Amino acid sequence: MVKVVICGAAGGIGQPLSLLLKQSDLISHLALFDVVNAPGVATDLSHINTGSRVTGHGKEGMNEAMKGAHTVVIPAGVPRKPGMTRDDLFKINAGIIRDLAEGVAKNCPGAFVLVISNPVNSTVPIVCEVLKQHGVFNPKKVFGISTLDVVRSSRFVSEIDSSMDPRATRVTVIGGHSGVTIVPVLSQIPGQKFTKEQLDTLTHRIQYGGDEVVKAKDGAGSATLSMAFAGARFTNAILEATVAGKTGLVESTYVNLSADPESTAAFRAKTGLDYFAQDVEFGREGVAHIRPLPHLSDYEQALLDAALPELKVNIAKGTAFITDNSKI
Ligand SMILES: NC(=O)c1ccc[n+]([C@@H]2O[C@H](COP(=O)([O-])OP(=O)(O)OC[C@H]3O[C@@H](n4cnc5c(N)ncnc54)[C@H](O)[C@@H]3O)[C@@H](O)[C@H]2O)c1
């Protein structure tokens, strides 16, 4: 029995993400939780002829939805409107994430928790702190899904250099998941010869790709379809590793660095950061290994230097939301 819960399943991301995950043969029960319209979305999806059972859980149904879950994916909350930064979302989404993390601690403390809700730089620390307060924190099992930055990178480089296959070109994206904290390591793409101008264009597009969508949707929300694609890719990788036992799967993802204390000790000592996005190898328990930082060009080192102060503030804000303000 592999039960996967989507929290915020009736939303712009939640619906297409649920549709994509309904196609997974590794999931036996897809539980859709949302404060609105979850039963409708669940009934619709339940007619698709794949193996998983689908259930819908409304406002009062969080505990039932989460009971015994293997994996909890969280795209619940509000998306950005034009002019809002991811950090502006903090006040609304922080409370939602805290309550959902509490639900995880009570109903499925051993579950893998995959956080999509922004600002990821802060919402992941919130989840970790709640789980710590309940004594059930395992850093190998909590992930911020920054895969959309990776997906965008692969696509955008192929638009500049058509010899690069967007499906096959893997780009490591380190740092965090908002604006300047997103650091694409384009120098590691085999055979790349980007000019300084191309690097500037690509880096800006990857860091602010979300703004492109917010602006184009003109008040109707942020990235949903591309995010659902990225979220399904990441969730499937976690399931392949943890359920099917597949080895060698690697994704850039935002994690608590104590998930691999040995590999990250020097970096933590140097930067003082407890959370960071980096290439992570998955295993049966979730994080198997956090890879050391790739070699950075001078250009990328400057991007990382610019990212660290903001990342530090974002992490402190998420952590303090639980440790200072809202004792459970
Ligand atoms: N990680 C990323 O790369 C990335 C990309 C795009 C968007 N996002 C974030 O994902 C989140 C969702 O975006 P969206 O466009 O799907 O928004 P949306 O408003 O369309 O959907 C959010 C859903 O969450 C539900 N919800 C709200 N509070 C809830 C609660 N307490 N419990 C369960 N469900 C709840 C809402 O009813 C709604 O259906 C936002 O925070 C957005 O910023 C992240």
Q: Kindly report the backbone phi and psi dihedral angles of residue 101, in degrees, each rounded to the nearest multiple of 5, phi listed first.
A: -65, -35
Helix (H) or strand (E) holding 33: strand 29-33
Q: Judge if 154 and 245 occupy the same domain.
A: yes
Alpha-carbon distances, residue 99 vs 30, 63, 95, 108, 179 (angstroms): 21, 11, 6, 14, 27
Q: Which two tokens stand for residue 295?
A: 């070699």
Q: Judge if 47 and 164 occupy the same domain.
A: no
Quick one: how far is CA 130 from the chain centroid?
Answer: 18
- Chain position carrying tokens 């924190």: 137
Ligand 1 mean position, distance from CA 117 (Å): 6
Residues marked as binding? 8-14, 34, 80, 86, 93, 116-118, 152, 227
Do you know the residue count of the chain? 328
Q: What is the mean pLDDT of the chain?
A: 96
Q: Judge if 310 and 201 occupy the same domain.
A: yes
Pocket, ligand 1, Cβ cutoff 6 A? 7-8, 10-14, 33-36, 75-80, 89, 93, 96, 99, 116-118, 120, 145, 148, 177, 221-224, 227
Q: What residue owns the CA closest to ligand 1's atom 13?
A: 79
Q: Kindly report the backbone phi and psi dihedral angles of residue 169, in degrees, each rounded to the nearest multiple of 5, phi listed first.
A: -85, 110
Q: Which two tokens stand for residue 262?
A: 């040995």
Q: What residue owns the CA closest to ligand 1's atom 11?
A: 117
Q: Judge if 110 and 237 occupy the same domain.
A: no
Q: Which two tokens stand for residue 321?
A: 């939301």
- Chain position carrying tokens 């794949």: 50
CA quadruple 196, 312, 309, 259: dihedral sign: negative
Q: Judge if 140 and 157 occupy the same domain.
A: no
- Domain total for the chain? 2
- CATH number at 58 reads 3.40.50.720
User: How many C-beta neighbours within 10 Å does residue 101 have?
Assistant: 27
pLDDT > 80? residue 328:
no
| Residue where a domain stops, chosen among 129, 145, 161 | 145
Q: Give the per-residue pLDDT at 207.
A: 98
Q: Judge if 108 and 193 occupy the same domain.
A: no
Q: Judge if 91 and 165 occupy the same domain.
A: no
Of 144, 86, 147, 96, which Cα lies nearest the Cα of 118? 86
The pLDDT > 70 percentage for the chain reads 98
Ligand 1 mean position, distance from CA 14 (Å): 7
Q: Give me the domain span that covers residue 16.
A: 3-145
Average pLDDT over residues 252-269: 98
Rounded distance between C-alpha atoms, residue 263 and residue 106, angstroms = 31
Residue 13's pLDDT band (cuts 50, 70, 90): very high
Determine which one of 177, 204, 289, 295 is catalytic.
177
pLDDT tens-place string over residues 80-110: 777 777 667 898 999 999 999 999 999 999 9
Is 177 part of the annotated catalytic residue set?
yes
- CATH number at 182 reads 3.90.110.10
pLDDT tens-place string over residues 154-182: 999 999 999 999 999 999 999 999 999 99
- The span from the first CA to the last CA of the chain, in angstroms, equals 31
Q: Judge if 255 and 228 occupy the same domain.
A: yes
Of 314, 258, 276, 311, which Cα lies nearest the Cα of 94? 314
The preferred substitution site among 222, 229, 253 for testing ligand 1, maximizing ligand atoms within 8 Å of CB, is: 222
Q: Give the per-residue pLDDT at 82.
A: 77
Residue 274 near residue 315, CB atoms below 8 Å = yes
pLDDT > 60? residue 326:
no
In this structure, of 19-33, 110-124, 210-224, 287-301, the range with the lowest mean pLDDT score is 210-224
Rounded distance between C-alpha atoms, residue 184 and residue 153, angstroms = 7
**pTM score:** 0.97
Ligand 1 mean position, distance from CA 139 (Å): 23
User: How many C-beta neighbours within 10 Å does residue 195 have?
Assistant: 9
| Residue where a domain stops, chosen among 145, 179, 199 | 145
Alpha-carbon distances, residue 141 vs 63, 147, 256, 280, 316 (angstroms): 20, 16, 9, 12, 21
Average pLDDT over residues 18-26: 98
Q: What DSSP letter does each residue of 234-302 carry, written as one string?
A: HHHHHHHHHTS-----EEEEEEEGGGSHHHHHHHHHHH--SEEEEEEEEETTEEEEEPPPPP--HHHHH
Q: Which two tokens stand for residue 327?
A: 């004792």
Q: What residue owns the CA closest to ligand 1's atom 27?
A: 77
Q: What residue owns the CA closest to ligand 1's atom 41?
A: 117
Q: Judge if 180 and 325 occupy the same domain.
A: yes
Q: What residue owns the CA closest to ligand 1's atom 15?
A: 12
Name the β-bridge partners of 117: none
User: How many C-beta neighbours within 10 Å does residue 148 have?
Assistant: 26
Q: Judge if 136 and 152 occupy the same domain.
A: no
Q: Judge if 185 and 262 occupy the same domain.
A: yes
In this structure, of 73-82, 174-183, 203-212, 267-276, the range with the lowest mean pLDDT score is 73-82
| Residue where a domain stops, chosen among 83, 118, 145 | 145
Q: Judge if 311 and 167 occupy the same domain.
A: yes
The preferred substitution site among 15, 20, 35 for testing ligand 1, maximizing ligand atoms within 8 Å of CB, is: 35
